[in-house]
């Protein structure tokens, strides 16, 4: 493996993956505190905070479908440059809404509307990252090292997801929550410079045939009209709604019931650290489990994780940081069991000769989940979780029931597909 690492990748592979590490660091650093920043610092209510989170999260996972075509058309170097330039400005602008020195710019304005535009602007930049990184990995690795290349990419993504929240906690504790966005902005500004100086367009990219935006729209319609495939994606969107509520509901809960100084960022990074440490042993342990069964395990664990919080609260047990960590850990173990199999299932569902096209829509359930989950989680917590209402167990129960519905639907879907075959 050491020889493969040394000789199996072009220099641009390492530059692109290094930039992805810093981009994920910036993204997850701010994502862990976004809902609390919007509510506690900017004084939006939970529903408004959820809606703003939905705008950003939904677009940053939906737009890559189209951003990938533009990256193909203009090249990865230009795509990276544009992405990091926009992200640096966008994160700075988000943070500026909460910095005292910029109050004059936002007073007597509709801050919700302004932030909506800023978040859309930032998401447009961020949408170019994943297709550009994944495209670079594909073109700068050999046939023998491609699988290893994607494993390195996935590992570095989770390293960013683990380190970013840690830095966010240090910055929030030392300087204030609004300055977390300045760290994200600086991280992306540095990667803009790295792109200009160190990233070289892969030669294979210069020679390949490029897809037009009109073709991307045709591809999107090809996927949408495949009803069985779309049902599968909608079921998975329910799964990801359960996941994203950790970033919407849990920060609210920790701030209200444990304390605003609690290390929210460190708690939410538990999932990333679990993946970093356990992904390989879990993959080996579950490698002989059939794909539908592995996916069902992930869905069941997703529901169980939230029911742990519900039954603890119902039994009068104080839900502290330990139980929340256990919840995230349980979900993460299930995620690692099903995540690699998700792509296998996608390939099986795709019509012959269209596997690559259908794989390109793997992030669509995440986009749908963010679009719906932010508003749903904000409304749910506003209705039941606030201290004034004092029923956080209802929040945990309803999210757990969403997981149960998703698991039942996936079980029925697997049964139907088995009979159809």
Quickly state the pLDDT bin for 206 (edges 50, 70, 90).
low
Q: Residue 420 has which token pair?
A: 């159809």
Q: Residue 5 has which token pair?
A: 């690492």
- Give the pLDDT score at 243: 95
Cα–Cα distances (Å) from 148 to 3, 152, 165, 306, in that order, read: 12, 6, 26, 34
- Give the pLDDT score at 342: 83
- Give the pLDDT score at 260: 87
| pTM (predicted TM-score) | 0.89
Domain match, 292 and 337 both = yes
What's the whole-number mean pLDDT along residues 141-147?
80
- Give the pLDDT score at 251: 96
* Lowest mean pLDDT segment, chosen from 110-119, 296-305, 362-371, 385-394: 362-371
Question: Could you tell me which of 375, 118, 338, 151 has the C-alpha nearest to residue 239?
Answer: 338
Domain match, 230 and 325 both = yes
Quickly state the pLDDT bin for 104 (edges 50, 70, 90).
confident
Count of structural domains, the chain: 2
Distance CA 54, CA 378 (A): 10
Residue 402 has pLDDT above 90, yes or no: yes
Q: Please give the share of the chain, as a percent, with pLDDT higher than 70.
A: 94
Tens-place pLDDT, residues 328-371? 999 999 998 888 788 777 767 777 666 666 766 778 899 999 99
- Give the pLDDT score at 1: 54
Question: Could you tell me which of 8, 23, 275 has the C-alpha nearest to residue 155?
Answer: 275
Mean pLDDT, the chain, rounded, equals 89
- Give the pLDDT score at 209: 60
Domain match, 195 and 261 both = no
Instruction: Look at residue 84 and tell me if it is in a domain.
Output: yes
Instruction: Look at residue 334 and tell me if it is in a domain.
Output: yes
Question: Could you tell me which of 132, 105, 134, 108 has the C-alpha nearest to residue 118?
Answer: 105
Q: Give the chain's length.
A: 421
What's the whole-number mean pLDDT along residues 58-86?
89
Please, are residues 85 and 67 in contact by the beta-carbon 8 Å criterion? no
- Give the pLDDT score at 60: 92
What's the whole-number mean pLDDT along residues 391-419?
94
- Give the pLDDT score at 355: 62
Instruction: Look at residue 374 and tell me if it is in a domain.
Output: yes
* Lowest mean pLDDT segment, chosen from 18-22, 89-93, 217-221: 217-221
Residue at which a domain ends, from 210, 231, 248: 210
Domain match, 405 and 273 both = yes
Domain match, 273 and 356 both = yes
Instruction: Look at residue 325 and tell me if it is in a domain.
Output: yes
Domain match, 285 and 260 both = yes
Residue at which a domain ends, from 192, 210, 228: 210
- Give the pLDDT score at 419: 85
Quickly state the pLDDT bin for 252 (edges 50, 70, 90).
very high
Residue 224 has pLDDT above 90, yes or no: no
Q: Domain of 77?
A: 8-210
Distance CA 90, CA 70 (A): 20
Domain match, 134 and 247 both = no
Q: Supply the CATH number for residue 72's domain.
A: 1.20.1250.20
Residue 218 has pLDDT above 90, yes or no: no
- Give the pLDDT score at 108: 84
Domain match, 88 and 189 both = yes
Instruction: Look at residue 3 and tell me if it is in a domain.
Output: no
| DSSP SS3 for 320 | coil
- Give the pLDDT score at 111: 95
Tens-place pLDDT, residues 264-288? 999 999 999 998 998 888 878 887 8
Distance CA 345, CA 342 (A): 5
What's the whole-number mean pLDDT along residues 11-16?
93
Q: Which helix or strand (DSSP H or E) is residue 59 part of?
A: helix 46-62
- Give the pLDDT score at 7: 66
């Amino acid at each position: 493996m050491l020889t493969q690492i040394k000789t199996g990748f072009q220099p641009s592979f390492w530059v692109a993956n290094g930039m992805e590490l810093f981009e994920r660091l910036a993204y997850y650093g701010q994502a862990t505190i976004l809902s609390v920043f919007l509510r506690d610092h900017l004084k939006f209510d939970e529903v408004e905070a959820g809606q703003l989170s939905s705008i950003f999260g939904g677009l940053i996972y939906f737009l890559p479908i189209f951003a990938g075509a533009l990256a193909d058309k203009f090249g990865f170097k230009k795509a990276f440059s544009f992405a990091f330039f926009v992200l640096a400005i966008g994160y700075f602008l988000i943070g500026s809404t909460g910095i005292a020195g910029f109050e004059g710019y936002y007073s007597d304005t509709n801050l919700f509307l302004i932030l909506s535009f800023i978040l859309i602007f930032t998401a447009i930049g961020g949408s170019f990252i994943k297709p550009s990184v994944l495209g670079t990995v594909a073109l700068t690795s050999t046939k023998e090292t491609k699988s290893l290349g994607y494993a390195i990419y996935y590992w570095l993504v989770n390293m960013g997801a683990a380190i970013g929240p840690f830095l966010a906690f240090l910055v929030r504790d030392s300087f204030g929550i609004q300055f977390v966005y300045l760290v994200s902005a600086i991280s992306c500004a540095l990667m803009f410079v790295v792109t200009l100086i160190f990233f070289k367009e892969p030669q294979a990219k210069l020679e390949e045939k490029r897809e037009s935006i009109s073709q991307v729209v045709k591809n999107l319609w090809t996927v949408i009209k495949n009803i069985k495939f779309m049902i599968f994606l909608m079921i998975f969107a329910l799964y990801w709604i359960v996941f994203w509520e950790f970033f919407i509901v849990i920060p609210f809960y920790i701030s209200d019931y444990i304390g605003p100084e609690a290390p929210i960022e460190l708690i939410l990074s538990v999932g990333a650290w679990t993946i970093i440490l356990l992904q390989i042993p879990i993959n080996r342990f579950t490698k002989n489990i059939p794909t539908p069964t592995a996916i069902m395990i992930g869905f069941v664990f997703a529901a169980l994780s939230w029911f742990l919080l519900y039954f603890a609260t119902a039994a009068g047990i104080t839900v502290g940081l330990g139980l929340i960590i256990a919840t995230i850990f349980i979900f993460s173990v299930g995620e690692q069991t099903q995540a690699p199999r998700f792509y296998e299932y996608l390939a099986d569902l795709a019509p012959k000769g269209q596997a690559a096209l259908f794989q390109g829509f793997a992030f669509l359930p995440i986009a749908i989940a963010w679009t719906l989950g932010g508003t749903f989680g904000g409304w749910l917590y506003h209705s039941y979780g606030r201290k004034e209402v004092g029923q956080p167990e209802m929040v945990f129960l309803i999210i757990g029931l969403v997981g149960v519905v998703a698991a039942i639907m996936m079980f029925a879907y697997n049964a139907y597909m088995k009979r159809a075959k």
